[in-house]
């Protein structure tokens, strides 16, 4: 028997909150009960408790329920506590100690990537990918890793036309339209990781893989940056393997799943 089955009310409450969080709008209690295959009496009871504590809002005129301010406060608390950065920082430090090159953790912010953690290897040069720096996602290994793990429709919505493809330098990158981005992302999926060679900083290359949450959604990416010159296929394979192990560990910690 699973632990969740021993506390059904807790599991059912989380199911209701998760359903409301992913719905397009407030829902009738009958629809909640139907979609979750729960007794209506149970659903009404749990909704009453959630309403009383502010996690769910009741709209009596519409006879529907939606997320309340309590749920919003949980979301903002998650942001304030920076769990991704807190969990990612020691993981990146261990990665850098293992492979001897700098690493960073980035998240998608609109069509940009935002760097939230950087761990610099000893004697490594300063990188443009410092904490709080934003760069166009399609130009970076981190951005490509995240985009390659997203549904095609979501990527298309982010890049609806050519005006969405911002370039750092004039005519320096071929990914300037959706068809070219799609080809690049397909190549990342086939290869098993994303890469960027000398585009952000001349003479430096990066490889990256995504970090996923409990829904297998790419919430971030871990990348390592190394000197392009002298990087043998064996060395790149070693870096990919190390990054993959680190993203796997961080994904498990974020999702609460075991490896």
pTM: 0.69
> Is residue 259 predicted with pLDDT exceeding 60?
no
Q: Which residue has the higher pLDDT, 254 or 172?
A: 254
pLDDT of residue 170: 45
CB-based contacts of 158: which residues, under 8 Å, 6+ apart?
A: 110, 111, 137, 147, 164
* pLDDT tens digits for range 109-149: 888 898 999 999 887 767 766 677 889 999 999 999 999 99
* pLDDT tens digits for range 23-42: 878 999 999 999 999 999 99
Please give the mean pLDDT across all residues of the chain: 86
Percentage of the chain modeled with pLDDT above 90? 51
CB-based contacts of 246: which residues, under 8 Å, 6+ apart?
A: 91, 92, 94, 95, 103, 222
Q: For the domain with range 3-75, which CATH number is right: 2.10.240.10, 2.60.40.10, 1.10.1200.10, 1.10.10.10?
A: 1.10.10.10
- Just give the CATH number of 82-255: 3.30.450.40
């Amino acid at each position: 028997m699973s632990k969740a089955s021993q506390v059904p009310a807790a599991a059912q409450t989380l199911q209701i909150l998760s359903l409301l969080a992913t719905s397009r709008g407030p829902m009738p209690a009958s629809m909640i009960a139907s979609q979750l295959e729960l007794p209506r009496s149970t659903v009404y009871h749990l909704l009453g408790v959630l309403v009383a504590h502010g996690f769910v809002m009741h709209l009596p005129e519409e006879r529907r329920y939606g997320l309340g301010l309590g749920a919003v406060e949980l979301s903002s608390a998650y942001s304030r506590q920076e769990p991704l950065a807190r969990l990612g920082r020691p993981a990146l430090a261990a990665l850098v100690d293992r492979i001897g090159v700098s690493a960073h953790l980035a998240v998608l912010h609109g069509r940009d990537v935002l760097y939230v953690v950087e761990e610099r290897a000893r004697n490594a040069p300063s990188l443009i990918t410092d904490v709080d720096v934003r760069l166009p996602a399609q130009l970076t290994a981190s951005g490509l890793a995240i985009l390659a793990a997203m549904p095609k429709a979501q990527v298309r919505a982010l890049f609806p036309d050519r005006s969405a493809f911002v370039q750092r330098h004039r005519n320096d990158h071929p990914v300037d339209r959706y068809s070219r981005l799609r080809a690049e992302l397909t190549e990342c999926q086939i290869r098993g990781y994303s890469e960027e060679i000398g585009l952000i900083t001349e003479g430096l290359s990066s490889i990256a893989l995504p970090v996923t949450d409990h829904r297998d959604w790419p919430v971030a990416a871990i990348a390592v940056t190394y000197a392009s010159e002298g990087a043998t296929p064996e060395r790149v394979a070693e870096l990919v393997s190390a990054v993959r192990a680190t993203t796997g560990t961080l994904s498990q910690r974020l999702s609460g799943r075991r490896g």
